[in-house]
Amino acid sequence: MSSSDDGSTRGNGFHPAAPPAAQMDPVLLRREMVEWQLLKRGIRDERVVAAMLSVPRHEFVPAGLAGEAYSDRPLPIGHDQTISQPFMVAAMTEALQLSGSERVLEIGAGSGYQAAVLSLLAREVHTVESCSGSAMATCRCTSAMERSDGRTRLHLRPLWSPRQRPRFRRRSRRSSQTADV
């Protein structure tokens, strides 16, 4: 397994960010994370707790940080972005008070972890990401997030590709000339 400077990873045969199974038991680590970081801090929504237990956070971080995926802190994911600490994800999700019938729009997909948690609680999640590198990593991490009826639960859209990036025109104060920025 190797990781580049931007946080992207190359696969280990199972998942691009999954650590070797001998290093950790992700199910046990998720249970401990929920008990110590969420329940003891007041997260009470049973559906949020179940979603946090279900989503494998270690699959949303670079391989070199998979062993720290369930720690009580944000982690760098490359492209000058971080994955929020588990408590913040749970607190923001609980604050939404989702019933399961909602369509959710998330701006800034990052690693896709928050969207993956939301996808277990809402009817549909649409998320956009302006960083094309993060958007591609998010696509890899969330490609298997489908409902049992086969309908996609999570829709990721890059805000724009590098070629489609909006060009802003700046007007010079000294003349009426414009320049692409």
DSSP string, the chain: --B-TTS-B---SS-TTPPPGGG--HHHHHHHHIIIIIGGGT---HHHHHHHHHS-GGGGS-GGGGGGTTSSS-EEEETTEEEPPHHHHHHHHHHT---S--EEEEE--TTSHHHHHHHTTSSEEEEEES-HHHHHHHHHHHTT-B-TTS-BSEEEEES--TTT----EEE-SSSS-EEE-
| Total domains present in the chain | 1
pLDDT, position 32: 94
What residues are labeled active site? 84
For residue 176, tell me if it sits in a domain: no
For residue 178, tell me if it sits in a domain: no
Confidence bin at 69 (pLDDT 50/70/90): very high
pLDDT digits (tens, 9 = 90+) for 49-64: 999 999 999 988 888 9
Lowest mean pLDDT among 5-19, 39-53, 78-92, 147-161: 5-19
Assign residue 65 the CATH number of its domain: 3.40.50.150
Q: Structural domain of residue 125, as residue ranges?
A: 21-163
Please tell me the pTM assigned to this model.
0.69
For residue 29, tell me if it sits in a domain: yes
Instruction: Identify which has the larger pLDDT, 50 or 19.
Output: 50
